[in-house]
Structure 1
Amino acid sequence: MAQCCSPKPAATTFLRHPPNSPRISTLFTLPAIPSSSTKFPSISLLSPCSRRRSFPVAAATAAVDSPPEISDHEDGKRHLLEVKDLTAVIAESQQKILNGVNLTVYEGEVHAIMGKNGSGKSTFAKVLVGHPDYEVTGGTVTFKGQSLLEMEPEERSLAGMFLSFQSPIEIPGVSNADFLNMAYNARQRKLGLPELGPIEFFSHVYSKLDLVNMKMDFLNRNVNEGFSGGERKRNEILQLAVLGADLAILDEIDSGLDVDALQDVAKAVNALLTPKNSVLMITHYQRLLEYIRPTYIHVMENGRIVKTGDISLALVLEKEGYKAISTA
């Protein structure tokens, strides 16, 4: 999920695939772009200096750096996200899908949510960002000390929450550079910080390209249009790197990635971790946890978290499956 801006307030947009295609709903904040808006210049036209520069791309490495060890919650450490007894239903059918989720994420932590298909993992992520397909029926959610459920989706995004979807969609007619520049400036305005014009923004985004092992020409391409699965996932992490979210929710960021792409994505996520931000990642496989080491692992079943542990819990799941901890 990314934020964007224009002279008018941002509007939240939910795109759905045609009825005959698999139903995937995607949220992002993207206002209408006026026809008179200034487009981000082509990379080749930025400046004579930029044309002469050499732009190295980091090569994939076999070893992926892990974030520093996080100690127990010392005095003064704030929680970013606190979820208490969260319940939710599918808006259209009123089918109950979340059955009392409890979760607390402190600054500097990495949390992984695992569970069988249909256990409520992706639904939980979408409810946190305010997806309209779901209706909250009970419980509370606070983000950075404020009630998250009282915020509109675009407000949650601008407040520092980021969601990377399983299947990022294409946005025809909008270049990556324009999209990222608008999203970055929307966040800057929210924080009361200076906005960047296209040329200045390029200097900011340039270093982020190396982080996710992407080439410059990705900036001139339309968002995800013609991208491979791996390129789409890298592009999601590029958005995260540019926006500098406080809480990154990564929904199966490892799906469809080969080993090299997974290592690049994991290395970028680890590089973005600081003592002040956190990651909540959803995955089916232990493989991702070998590259992004979680502080805690939570197992979800029937719309609630039924087990919490450290990395050893993933080893149990890998060996024995979810029957080892099932409450059924």
Structure 2
Amino acid sequence: MDDRAAWEAVGDWYHAWFTGTVLVAVSRRGPAEAAELVFRVFRRQQQQTFLAGLAKLGIDGLPPAVAAARYHYLSNFIGGVGVEYVEESPRKAWIRYPPPRWVWPGATICGIPSEVNAAMLRGWHANNGVMLGRLGLGFVCTGQTVDGDPGLEGYYIEHDRDLAEEERLRFAKHERMPRFDPSQAPSLPSAEWPAERVAKAKRGYAMEYARTVMQEAVALWGAEAGGRLLGQAARLVAMQHYHATAASLGVTGFAEFLVALAVAEGDASDAVMQPDGSVILTRSRLSLLRGVGDPHPAMLAAWSELLVGSLAAHDRFARIEPMGPLSWRIIAGT
């Protein structure tokens, strides 16, 4: 199995869980609560990665508007997200995410209310000036794909005065981003970002969204309700994506699938046949929870629903039973 193909399969798998969680929140808890979840996800992501990412990309010394827009262009490019960039001046720079939108793939976009998508901008884009210590920096959104516009677009602009919190994000649909010229776009230093590093970064990009939404769902709704919502999304997504993911990983057996998935995530795993015909599956760790201090058991329980949903799609008569935190028994159906 090609490593890059396996990493891409993992990225798609966890991307689907993130998106599914947002959709379950919209349908079960309503747009307002789903928007709060998305806001929290993107604000946490920003606080954890934005400033360090500027330095890693070598753009931390640029003017605030340019640095902010280039960060979104380059980081999303690394993550495999379609993105465009136009720099009008040192104080004004555009960013655009053309369709198809990565974050809301396929028909998923039809279930995302405008306020839920805007929460992403409130959580991250509107707060870049605060993170940079430049309170005059704001973001102007000129279109949202979920509203039927031809892409999510807008520009960072640095004002001559500090902006109040409610001024840091505004909407101006009468404006339009100039045409994108790829030859004028910023690029990654090829020596520092070889193809293998970019491929791993794409996997990590999607896994980080799943990791963050797990934490924020539990923090927002509590372990019981938040864990239940995460688990609902995990089971549904796994049933829908199991066959395609197994094919991408080049496997057909269920235990083989779980081992291949774990290895593609960067974790050691094995499956051992037992005398009674069952299979004991173990993992060395769960990379998805790496960096999460003292993860709540509800998070692991929700993640385990990915296994339950996968097995339901593989063989609805088979069973999977937990044997420990990272150990399960798979019992064939009769």
TM value normalised by structure 2: 0.23
Q: Which has the larger radius of gyration?
A: 2
Larger relative contact order (C-alpha < 8 A, sep ≥ 6)?
A: 1
- Normalised by the length of structure 1, the TM-score is 0.23
Comparing both structures, which one devotes a greater share of its residues to strand? 1
| Greater helix fraction, Structure 1 or Structure 2 | 2
